[in-house]
Structure 1
Amino acid sequence: MVAPAVPELTEEILHESLDARTESLAALRELGPPDLVHLVKQAARNQGRQTGIYHHVTGVDASSSASLAAYINTLTYKEHAPNATAKIVEGVYCCYNAFSRLDMRIHVTIPGTVESFCVDERGEKRKATDDLWLETYLCSVLRAYSYADDGSGDTIRKIMGVRRFNPVTNTETEHRFLHAAEQLFFRGWQLGSDSVVQVPTNVSNHLTAGILKYLQTTGRYTSGINLFEKLRSQSVEVSSLLSKVLFMGNEEVMGVRTLYQSLQDTPMDYVMLDTQAEFLLNKAQTAATPELKDERLQMALRCADRSTIAAPSEFGTWARLAQVYVAMEDWENALTILNSCPMFTYQDKDTPVMPEPKEVHLPTLPETRLDEIDSEPESRYSEQVDPSLLGLRAASYKGTFKQAYSILTEMTAKIGWDQLLKIRSNVFVMEDEYRTEKQEATATANKRNSSVDGIREPSDATANGDEESEEEKEEDAESTARTLAPNDPSEDVEKPLSTIDPGEVKADTDNAANDEHLSKLNTKRLCERWLDSLFMVLYEDLRVYTIWRTQMAQYRAQQMQYKKSAEEWEILGSLAERLQHRDEAVEAYRACLSLRFSPRALAGILRSYRKQKVTRDTIQAVIRLVAWQYRWYSEFSPELLHTVRTLIEDEGAVKVRSIVQATSLPQSVLDLTHHYAALCATFRSSGTDG
């Protein structure tokens, strides 16, 4: 398998990329940025002229200084060819150790020596020990999986010029990875966790997420079961991870038994309870009868409810409970629970903070040449995009807000926008009814206190203050309504009514506490500001979606072509998929691909193909996505490898290889997908030969 090309970013000032990395160490909060490889080139005719170039990389074996030095040596081969105009005279490899918060570095002089050291957050040198290398190796593998692209190209585009390699290519390197994970398992919480987890624990952190992702990608469930069985003897909480792997490997009876037995010892372990709820929810969706579905949902409800009691500050437990209520079609409780979810600020992955490069060289290997892919960059940047499509805020949601929005859109897809608004008004205090209720309460209070009216000042300062605040609030409400007013007169999506500000109700609570008048609002809740904002964003998504579909229908009725740029079709596809209109999403993605290649559009279509189990079309999409990834220096995507593995499990390796080979594309491009199939054979996946 030929290695991806090597991108080169040229420094303005020699070593400035190394200095920038050192300065950024103190600000790192996650697993750290991709590894940095810095090289010094010396002109063949002018040895006094040196140039600094660099690129980033993930997945290189970081178990020792020798393995990192070997990577640098592979980069020097082509530079030392007889006709080379410059040669590499030294190189530095930087790999972040997130456990000890140190940057491990290898300095190689060519020809010459190899120096191994590490740099702390203050930029001071320290000695590199074997224990530090073990930590660094594990962090390197986790970064390779966590920072890999899902096939859509979104991750690849975030950082320019990153080479991505598969860190675990055979059973030998798997053993090294899982052995390191076992040794450092109970320190995994130090690495932090996904942004939807409030407090990292021994079973909810970047290490456990990386292990589970590896097992799901490769299907090496037996290795995972063995690992977690050993760790469970040290801590019963590992049972939740063991059961998850058992469920992945279709060992459901053993997984349920593991959870049941472990919950006898720790009945309030929220991860185990959530795992139970997730399992029951999935089983309910595949239930043969409505009665069986209801029974499983009731069990899931009890588990999910108990998990929120065990971990009231975790988003995941509340989100699971909301999902159960949605599956039960208990819409009011679903909204109430969604409103109770604790929301966290999204913490993005660490990315390199580098000065602007002097030059950027992004070479293309001949093996990845494919006309439809090669023409993508040029046409992509010349496209016009409607500002209303660029302004859709839901497209940028991540973490807890993205998951909460997904639950809200699922409800909308099932019951419709109008019905959702009715349920919303039943559950939450709406602005108009609050003002009506407040006026009635004020009138009642004035009537009751008429005996003291004579001693009040005509111009009561408090009353004037209330009037001013009322006017201001009414103006704010009108401003909000104007903001949400649809531009298209044919638009039939009703805008959401604003809910009342929680602070406004709180201010009146003390005054109304002693009222004998019982308000109907006492049975309602206050809508959290973030959820109120999600309704506004959902309204905007629905408005744009409805305009698009209405215009499409009108053009078709008149037998006219509905024209959009490829970028606009891509955004509309994402919009439809976000709103869970999957057929319309595929339609938009196809329209995008008819104009130019788009990995995001093709990845969206691939998701549809996989659900429908359309083998040949799935393979056609995979071939092109693998080639595009390799074109941009990534030989490894866990999602694409998982897709190839599941295809082989369903259809057999011989059939999959035959379909790939029968495709009328260059052999070098087909070989890239054959490489993924060969990995499955190496790991002896189900369906492979031998």
Structure 2
Amino acid sequence: MVVQTAVPELYEDDAHSVVEVRTDSLQGLRELGPPDLVHLVKQPIGKSSHKQIGLYHHVTGIDASSSAALAAYINTLVYQPNDRQHKIASGLYCCYNAFSRVDMRVQVQIPGTVESYCVDERGSKLEATEEHWLETYLCSVLRAYSYADNGSGDTVKRIIGVRRFNPVTSTEQEQKFLDAAEKLFFSGWQLGSDPEIQVPNLVSNHLTSGLLHYIKTTGRFASGINLFEKLRSRDPEIASLLAKVYFAADEEVKAVQLLHEAVEELPMDYSILDCQAEFCNRKGRSDLALEIAKRGVVAAPSEFGTWARLAEVYVAQEQWDLALLTLNSCPMFTYQDKDAPRLPEPARVSLPLDPQTMCDEIDDASATPDAENVHPTLRRLAAGNYKGTFHKAYILLTEITKKIGWDQLLKIRSQVFVMEEEYRNEKQQGPERGGGSRNASTTALRGTDTPQPNGHGDIQEDNGDDQVPPSPSGTGASTNGSITEASSSSEPRASTTYLDPSVSKPTSSITVRSGAETPQPLPPTNEDDSYTQFRHKRLCERWLDNLFMVLYEDLRIFTIWRTEAAQYRQQQLAYKKTAEEWEILGELAERLHRGGEAEEAWHQCLGVRFSPKALRGVMASLGRKGERRGEVGALIRLVAWQWRWYSEFSPELLLTMRKLIEEEGAVKIRSIVQATSLPQHVLDLTHQYAALCAAFSSSGTEEGR
């Protein structure tokens, strides 16, 4: 393997051995494990002094199928030109095996011997077997895709000193990857799953996510179909994965036929039902998707995804009250972040530049985020920090707001949920009402008709919140407190099309943590009753109540921004903000589905300094508009910036290149790249992404025609 990026060097603190710290952290790993650790020992050249220096860096995407492959990587570091006063005496490569939960290690003495072994969670040294290496190789490929940067630079900046390589660069390597995945497929649930999944299973885990990510990125649909066809013969549940690949390959007829056969065989498999519901809803047939989504909830009531799909269908049908009730019923899970190195601060850091990545236009080495340069109200916006189920729920809430407006959303909220003032009045006016109640989960499921889940019985009514798993504690602050105003001026007037003249602050509702003992309102006496009386309403989950307050703050700050910008334009004054503030405003506009305002913020940010996050936003916007030259120009700069920070591989940038070639043809895209007024060594980096598409015979390349 030809190593082309420069090598970052993080110098070890004499008081802490990074290898020992990594060993101690093994028992705390819950996901695929951290990036590989490469620890080197250097000593001065030609001097009698025996003082040795410990330094390290991280890697993803290196072939970890054998000890020889990892030793070969260490050997490529011996002749690096950065340090001519020292030589490498030894190297240790650490690569985590998430199947067996051991750390595979290869110790290389230079010159000398190679020793391979593995270390378990207790720190015990074990013999490395062939099965261990197969598992380690597969984990290495999955980590390369899962932990890669999406082009915005957020992942690159999160962990310092990580070299990212593409683990699959040819059809031969692809076959090796898919063979390993096939052998270990039925153990994939051991790796964990995405944060939206409550319990990892055969079709929802990091292995299946990685396979689908790879197939989508490279466009190797035939290989994916072949793999899942073979696996489906062993277990019919895998039909949902096969259908997803068929849909991605634009083979919708085959996918629909497959789902029809699968649901006949497994009528209550929630993955198959969810795939059906998503397809029907995407095709504008929410009427067909509704009953399927309801059945999916019955099949897996403790999974977030089934409830979220039902909420999406209600949004498509413009049944806003049921959409909110369904959202309120979603089981929320504590976000489990990807495993990251838990190492002490390095004594010194060296981040050398590779000559082929040097370009003044993309230099942001001096741009360190400074919280002091960001207005406190922008820094306090909480929505940008949401991950997992809370992020998905917030997206659903913003989609409803986009379609009906903030004031209408508040009106519907007050119709379906118990508000604090009316709850106090109800308590004062009469004795506590008795009798059983129907919770929000059942209401959302029933709608106006009771679903018959394929002959498997009716949905059971419930007097409590048993169908809704407990929400994690501490999901948000109390919603009864006041929000600090962003400006001393009066509440701003909206200049947007979907906001009324002012952004109304939501009144407090009665919130509840799922499973807590709280008074339950009585159910409607008949299906035609609306939510206009107290006894017909539901209690709002605390996390959802908090989302309303966070959305209010987003809308309020957005309105202030647009009002101030309009005022400055009228007075022909420059509206100035720091690059960090423009980035936050761009993300804010994107969250609220305001593409034009987001693009404006990204351009303003790039006018201050280079920002990969802003440039990625511009690239996506230009792509939606079909402005290919601008999109290619942004792609070139993002590829070069990634290489400057030791990342040779970004699946999202590769996917963008593949889509461009698919639409315009490889010859045209190469010509646009070559016609760009950037140094040739920078353009060559993008040509490598195009060459990768040709190696995989992507549509639009000469091989793919």
Shift of residue 507 of structure 1?
6.8
The equivalent residue for 1:448 is: none
Cα contact 1:280–1:297 (8 A) shared by 2? yes
Aligned to 1:468: none
Distance verdict in 2 for CA 1:437–1:484, change over 3 Å: farther
- The answer for the alignment partner of 2:508 in structure 1 is 498
The 8 Å contact of residues 376 and 596 in structure 1, kept in 2 or not, is answered as no
Aligned residue number for residue 227 of structure 1:
227
Query: 1:620-667, CA deviations, whole angstroms, 9 ceiling, x for partnerless residues?
Result: 110000000000000000000000000000000000000000000000
Report Cα offsets for 1:43-66 as digits up to 9, x if no partner.
111441100010000000000000
Amino acid at match of 2:64: A
Q: For residues 28-47 of structure 1, what are the structure 2 equivalents within 5 Å?
A: 28-44=29-45, 45-47=47-49
What's the CA shift for 1:265?
Answer: 0.9
Q: Distance in 2 between matches of 1:477 and 1:437?
A: 23
Change (3 A) 1:114 1:547: same
Partner residue in 2 for 1:289: none
Cα distance per residue 1:388-437 (max 9 Å; x no partner): 10110001000000000000011111111100000000110011111112
Q: What is the aligned counterpart of 2:390 among 401, 407, 420?
A: 401
Q: How far apart are the structure 2 equivalents of 1:665 and 1:485?
A: 42
Deviations 1:530-569 (A, max 9, x none): 0000001001111111111111111111111111111111
- The residue number in structure 2 matching 1:62 is 64
Aligned ranges for residues 223-622 of structure 1 at < 5 Å? Answer: 223-284=223-284, 296-378=285-367, 380-381=369-370, 384-442=373-431, 480-481=481-482, 488-491=489-492, 492-502=502-512, 509=519, 520-622=533-635
Q: Distance in 2 between matches of 1:353 and 1:506?
A: 37
8 A Cα contact 2:664 2:700, kept in partner: yes
Alpha-carbon RMSD = 2.3
The whole-number CA distance in structure 2 between the counterparts of 1:645 and 1:444 is 62
In terms of mean alpha carbon deviation, does 406-415 or 139-148 score higher?
A: 406-415
Unaligned stretches of 5+ residues in structure 1: 285-295, 446-475
Residue 27 in 1 paired to residue 28 in 2? Answer: yes
Letter in 2 for 1:335: L
- Residue 175 to residue 620, structure 1, CA distance change in 2 (3 Å): same
Query: How far 1:481 moved relative to its partner?
Result: 4.1
Pick from 642, 648, 654 the counterpart of residue 641 of structure 1. 654
Cα distance in 2 between the residues matched to 1:403 and 1:378: 31
Shift of 1:443: 11
8 Å contact kept, 2:12–2:18: yes
- Whether the 8 Å CA contact 1:96–1:102 is kept in 2: the answer is yes
Q: Within 2, Cα distance between the matches of 1:511 and 1:332?
A: 16
The answer to whether the 8 Å contact 1:14/1:52 transfers is: no
- Measured in 2, the distance between the counterparts of 1:511 and 1:308 equals 23
How many Å separate the matches in 1 of 2:173 and 2:546?
Answer: 47
Pair 1:268–1:66, CA change in 2 (3 A): same
- For residues 66 and 478 of structure 1, the distance between their equivalents in structure 2, rounded to whole angstroms, comes to 58
CA contact (8 A) 2:39 2:57 kept: yes
User: Which secondary structure does the structure 2 equivalent of 1:624 belong to?
Assistant: helix
For residues 677 and 49 of structure 1, the distance between their equivalents in structure 2, rounded to whole angstroms, comes to 46
2:338 maps to a residue whose letter is K
Q: Distance in 2 between matches of 1:25 and 1:505?
A: 35
CA distance in 2 between counterparts of 1:17 and 1:46 reads 27
Q: Which moved more, 1:326-335 or 1:186-195?
A: 326-335
Q: Amino acid of the residue matched to residue 74 of structure 1?
A: T
Residue 632 of structure 2 aligns with an amino acid whose one-letter code is I
Instruction: Call closer, same or farther: CA 1:509–1:551 in 2, change over 3 Å.
Output: closer
Using a 3 Å threshold, how does the CA distance of structure 1 residues 605 and 485 change in structure 2: closer, same or farther?
closer
CA displacement at 1:589 relative to structure 2? 0.5
One-letter amino acid of the counterpart of residue 59, structure 1: G
- Determine the structure 1 residue equivalent to 2:189: 189
Residue 8 of structure 1 corresponds to 9
**2:692 corresponds to which residue?**
679
Aligned equivalents of 1:628, 1:443: Cα separation in 2: 64
Equivalent in the alignment of 1:158: 158
CA contact (8 A) 1:231 1:238 kept: yes
C-alpha displacement at 1:510, in angstroms? 9.5
Q: Distance in 1 between matches of 2:483 and 2:660?
A: 51
Question: Is the 1:117–1:128 Cα contact (8 Å) retained in structure 2?
Answer: yes
* TM-score in terms of structure 2 length: 0.88
Q: Which amino acid counterpart does residue 26 of structure 1 have in structure 2?
A: Q
Counterpart of 2:79 in structure 1 is 77
Distance in 1, Cα, partners of 2:174 & 2:223: 9
Equivalent pair of 2:147/2:155 in contact (CA under 8 Å): yes
Q: Return the letter of the residue paired with 1:65.
A: S
Equivalent residue letter for 2:57: H
Per-residue deviation, 1:193: 0.1
- 2:459 corresponds in structure 1 to none
Contact 1:247/1:255 (8 A) holds in 2 = yes
User: 1:632 maps to which residue?
Assistant: 645
Does structure 2 retain, via aligned residues, the 8 Å contact 1:488–1:547? no
Q: Write out aligned runs for 1:92-107 (5 A).
A: 92-107=92-107
**Preserved contact between residue 486 and residue 557 of structure 2 (Cα < 8 Å):** no
Q: Residue 403 and residue 504 in structure 1: after superposition, are their counterparts in 2 closer, same or farther (change >3 A)?
A: closer
Q: CA deviation at 1:377?
A: 2.9
1:608 Cα deviation after fit: 1.2
Q: Is the 8 A contact 2:61 2:167 kept in 1?
A: yes
Query: Quick check: 2:119–2:125 contact (8 Å CA) kept in 1?
Result: yes
